[in-house]
A = this chain, B = another copy of it.
Amino acid sequence: MREKKNSTIKLIALGGVGEMGKNMHLVEVDKDIFVVDAGLMFPEDEMLGIDIVIPDITYLTENSDRVKAIFLTHGHEDHIGALSYVLRQLNVPVYGTRLTLALAKAKLKEQEYSGLTNFIEINSDSMLELDSVDVSFFRTNHSIPDSVGICFHTSEGAIVHTGDFKFDQAATELYKADIGKMANIGDSGVLCLLSDSTEAEKPGYTTSEAIVAREMCDAFYNAPGRVIAASFASDLIGIQHIFDAAYESGRKIAVVGKSLERIYHIALDLGYLHVKEEIIIPISEIKDHADKEIVVLTTGSQGEPIEALQKMARQAHKQVNIEKGDTVLIAASPLKGSELFISKTVDMLFRAGANVISGKRMIHASSHGSQEELKFMINLMKPKLFIPVHGEYRMLKSHVKVAKSCGLTDQQIYIAEKGETVEIKDGKFQPGAKVPSGNILIDGSGVGDVGNIVLRDRKLLSEDGILIVVVTLTRRERKIVSGPEIISRGFVYVRESEKLMEDSEKLVREIVEKNISKDSFDWSSLKQDMRDGLNRSLYEKTKRRPMILPIIMEV
């Protein structure tokens, strides 16, 4: 505990609560603001055409002089993927472990960020003595090595952010949590614990990676021909299992997919992935070996590994296609919203002659702790106050129940909404004002320029298409000199709808002529009449409502 008394302690989530992804939590001590993680979120269904989503950091840019540091808990995209956007607006040092910083740097490069960076490597023994607080770290067990939790030591006790974690008692050296250190932090007095809620709805313990490793090995042994394994590049432990199972079962392994190349090489170079070099072969050489001696590993971020499998099933992959007798392992849990996509892919793989091993066998484990592990964290940290983070609302809610079962009371627990300032005063929560928070949508190179209006238009366009009416009038006499011409896209198949188009043209002509003969003529009411008339007539004939866009040209 610090001797210098801290006057104010505030916590604000800019992302990651009430949603999965774009994790970013602020810890404010006195005048200083510390940022834990800068993650991205992948767009949801209704965000048509959007590439990624990042947190709104208005609060940080408005208080830029107070922002002292960004701490990264680990190298997953939902924790580091917004960093380039933050650094474009804030010049602030970034702290992280060796692998995390290496992956963050690679991500910055991928996102074409070429500005200044001040990256400071820490390890779990580091102790930073900053102006308002001391900061220390503790190793956690997650699906990627070098994951840490962060501890802000204030005069009132420690503020602990767990990062993502589980407690796999069979974890290998690279993945081991430092339970002793956590216990010490707990003994020295934790004021508030912010803890990962991802699997708070799941009773018991998360399946051990040791079981996954064994199942994977079994599957490799029993596969009658080639093994095609698909996995997310960020799930380094899963990739480790695949390499290990290949080695154990006497198979060579060829890697396809560009995202893997990056993470894989970084992890390999830094010693976070252990592979016998001799089992790796270029994809071009798989034909030189018996089918029973081959593993093809396909990977990437988000949908990429599954898209690659689809291509292989459709015999459209550039490097390798599914053959009868192949065994496909999908070593990943489907992301919410991608279930249909995965089940279609599985169908295509079966059709192509493969056997598919997915969800039902234990070839993949969650990278987050279930209820008993969450209790373990609470019991180690013995916090005075508790805030569930990293999860959708029902997960946070479920985590509250878990915390209560450990003896915490309602007064000690708080579900903070996104953007809500929560002050800790005299050992109690004091909810405060809201700061700007929300989704900044990134589409192409545009950051935040796609908002509700554009999305609403995309939605309308996606449902019934668009119908454009152009007519050229003379300015003075208001005479039609060209058109009306009608063009549609995404509405009806035009070649089979000539009558509909002709009728529409006729209708527009009538509307225009009626309008221009009026004394009280004006452009906007002509356009409105065209819209209304067409809307009514098209709905009557087709029961569809395309977007209608009247364009009047003057000469």
A interface residues (Cβ-Cβ under 8 A, vs B): 18, 44-45, 48-49, 201, 336-337, 339-341, 343, 346-348, 350-351, 356, 360, 392-394, 397, 443-446, 449-451, 453-455, 457-466, 468, 470, 472, 481-483, 485, 487, 489-493, 496-497, 539, 541-544, 547, 549, 551, 553-555
Contact = CB atoms under 8 A, between A and B. Distances in A.
Q: Which of A348, A455, A461, A485 has the most CB of B within 10 A?
A: A461
A481 B549 contact: no
Contact of A48 (B49, B462, B483): B462
Contacts of A490: 48-49, 454-455, 457-458, 460-461
Contacts of A449: 492-493, 496-497
B347 A392 contact: yes
A11 B196 CA distance: 55
A481 B482 CA distance: 12
Contact of A542 (B45, B446, B468, B472): B446
Given A337-B339, A493-B451, A554-B482, A468 B394 contact: no
A544 B443 contact: yes
Contacts of A360: 201
Contacts of A457: 465, 489-490
Contacts of A483: 553
B18 A485 contact: no
Given A201-B360, A337-B340, A458-B490, 7 more contacts: A48-B490, A445-B541, A446-B543, A449-B496, A450-B493, A460-B490, A485-B553
25 contacts: A48-B462, A49-B463, A337-B340, A339-B339, A347-B392, A347-B394, A348-B393, A350-B397, A444-B543, A444-B544, A446-B492, A449-B493, A454-B465, A454-B491, A454-B493, A461-B489, A466-B489, A468-B468, A468-B549, A472-B472, A482-B553, A482-B554, A482-B555, A487-B549, A489-B547
Contact of A482 (B444, B462, B472): B472
Contacts of A497: 449
Contacts of A446: 492, 542-544
B346 A551 contact: no
